Amino acid sequence: MISKPNRLYFVDAMRAWAILMMLQGHFIDGLLDNAFRDNTNIFYTVWLYFRGITAPVFFTVSGFIFTYLLIKGDKTGFENPRVAKGIKRGLQLIFFGYLLRLNFWGLIFGHIYESFYYIDVLHCIGFSILGIIFLYLITKNRKVLFPILLITTTTLLFILEPNYKQWSYGILPNALANFLTKANGSVFTIFPWFGYATCGSFLAVLFNKYKNFKYLYPTAIITSITLGLTLIFQSSKIFLFLAQQTKFQVFADIFFNNYLVIRLGDVFLVFAVFMLVRKYLTNKTLLKIGQSTLSIYIIHYIILYGSFVGVGLYYFLNHTLRPTFAISGAVLFMFLCTFFALKYEAHKITIKAFIRLSFRTILQEIAPWSFAIYRMYKLYLFKAKKYTLRLFRLVKD
């Protein structure tokens, strides 16, 4: 057991729960035989519903944790050290998002597969962090505008989603359009998922503002439950009423596909549950899992999808497992991914130092050869250029 004042352990625990849900969700969704995907089966439908909660919770919690740390100190703007750390973290997540989709076999032959440009959860969270930093910086002189911009962003992204999801973005190259549309194969897009991150960021501002309030948690729990149930069971009726009163088509479109707001209601209920049991969420291993989500994600992606070489569990067992094997395999998969990730985190400094030393040693060994190869390459390139010019009579013999 550990205890630190002002530490929001329940948020780390939520992130641990979300990453474990993601592990089993990806494993079962990728390997379960299609014959057992029965929407009339109560167990499958419950699993499917809870799987749909994972990403909204993860994005919301990511925005919450980052913003809570960002506004915690007294310094503002670029003087706040969390800004530089956040920019580095955001770029790091985007880099790993692309790296995990890189196929080394194709790269050897000078070919980058189209899937390399697909946008996934790491890209979106990385850009979400950069987006929150942008909103924070442009409101540094008027702090009251920061939470207003955050909740406004969430509201607009959710309400206007039926409109912008239809745009083709054909004017953009696929590498950029993939951030905005799933048409080319992206799993996630910046919009509307940035809306969950800004909602989490808004909640972090509230928690920071009222952190010394005596009844913070009772108030937060009751508010979260009320908001959650309202968004889940009443939001569709509200949008239908707005559509009838205003005649705006966008409200009718939301009514017919109100998944974003309903999922936000689920997120509030998850917050309420974890706040209710927060006193029991101080287990060191659980919190460490919540703080090691990037390592867990990378390891799970390599094992399941075969990053770099294209050979993973998905390659061999794609939609072939019976429920018994899928469930037991998912449990084992969660254990192995978290075990390897925690081992890495415990020895991260040593491992990184060893990799840097090995890389430096390899460069030193190949340096003489690389110089000779470069000179030979330069010589033959010059000859090829000269021969081509002579062939087309652009220079004299």
Confidence category of residue 2, pLDDT binned at 50, 70, 90: very low
Task: Specify burial of residue 1 (Cβ count, 10 A radius: 0-12, 13-18, 19+).
Answer: exposed
* Same domain (yes/no): 341, 353: no
Of the candidates 165, 365, 196, the one whose C-alpha atom is nearest the C-alpha of residue 270 is 196
Q: How far apart are CA 259 and CA 156, in angstroms?
A: 15
With vertex at residue 24, the alpha carbon angle to CA 39 and CA 53, rounded to the nearest 5 degrees, is 65
Confidence of residue 103 (pLDDT cuts 50, 70, 90): confident
* pLDDT in the model for residue 394: 47
Contact 99, 122 (CB under 8 A): no
| 354 and 340 share one domain | no
Which has the minimum average pLDDT: 104-108, 193-197, 248-252, 284-288? Answer: 104-108
Q: CA nearest 175: which of 124, 111, 119? A: 119
- Token pair, residue 36, equals 């057992």
Percentage of the chain with pLDDT > 90? 72
Instruction: Say what angle helices 121-138 and 42-70 make with each other, to 10 degrees.
Output: 30
| Mean pLDDT, rounded, for 84-109 | 91
Tokens at residue 117, please? Answer: 């440009």
The answer to whether 138 touches 148, Cβ cutoff 8 Å, is no
> Cis peptide leading into 368, omega within 30 of 0?
no
Task: Say yes or no to pLDDT of 87 above 70.
Answer: yes
Residues 195 and 58 in one domain: yes
Angle in degrees, CA 77, 79, 85, rounded to 5? 90
Query: Do 265 and 377 belong to one domain?
Result: no
Task: Indicate whether 2 belongs to any domain.
Answer: no
- Structural domain count, the chain: 2
Average pLDDT over residues 124-130: 97
Pick from 5-14, 172-181, 240-249, 328-337: least confident: 5-14
Residue 137 in any domain: the answer is yes
Claim to verify: residue 323 and residue 363 sit in the same structural domain? no
Q: Are residues 255 and 302 in the same domain?
A: yes
Helix (H, G, I), strand (E, B) or coil at 103: strand
pLDDT tens for each residue of 226-269: 999 999 999 999 999 999 999 999 999 999 999 999 999 999 99
Would 323 be classed as within a structural domain?
yes
| Residue 253 shares a structural domain with residue 129 | yes
Distance of CA 273 to the CA centre of its chain: 23
Please check whether residues 88 and 148 belong to one and the same domain.
yes
Higher-pLDDT residue of 5, 215:
215
Average pLDDT value for the chain:
89
Q: Do 394 and 320 share a domain, yes or no?
A: no
Q: What's the pLDDT at 163?
A: 92
**Whether 353 and 342 share a structural domain:** no
Residue 108 included in any domain = yes
Q: Which of the listed residues 307, 330, 346 is the one where a domain comes to its end?
A: 346
Q: Is the dihedral of CA 9, 50, 121, 67 positive or negative?
A: negative
Residue 390 shares a structural domain with residue 337: no
- pLDDT of 351 reads 85
Report the chain's terminal Cα–Cα distance, integer Å: 83
Domain assignment present for 258: yes
377-386 pLDDT, tens digit per residue, is 556 655 665 5
| DSSP labels, 268-304 | HHHHHHHHHTGGG---HHHHHHHT-HHHHHHHHHHHH
Tokens at 128, concatenated: 């979400």
How far apart (Å, rounded) are the C-alpha atoms in residues 247 and 265? 25
Cα 195 to Cα 57, 159, 216, 288, 381: the distances in Å are 12, 10, 25, 27, 52
Taking only the tens place, the pLDDT of each residue in 158-204 is 999 999 988 888 888 888 999 999 988 998 999 999 999 999 999 99
Q: Identify whether 206 is part of a domain.
A: yes
Give the residue with greater pLDDT, 110 vs 371.
110
Q: What does the pLDDT read at residue 311?
A: 87
199, 261 in Cβ contact below 8 A?
Answer: no
Percent share of the chain, pLDDT over 70:
90
Residue numbers of the domain that contains 364: 349-397
Is residue 213 domain-shared with residue 273, that is, in the same domain?
Answer: yes
Q: pLDDT at position 1, please?
A: 41
Q: What is the pLDDT of residue 22?
A: 96
Q: Is residue 85 part of a domain?
A: yes
Angle between the N-to-C axes of helices 259-276 and 190-209, in degrees from 0 to 180, rounded to the nearest 10: 30
Query: Is 159 domain-assigned?
Result: yes
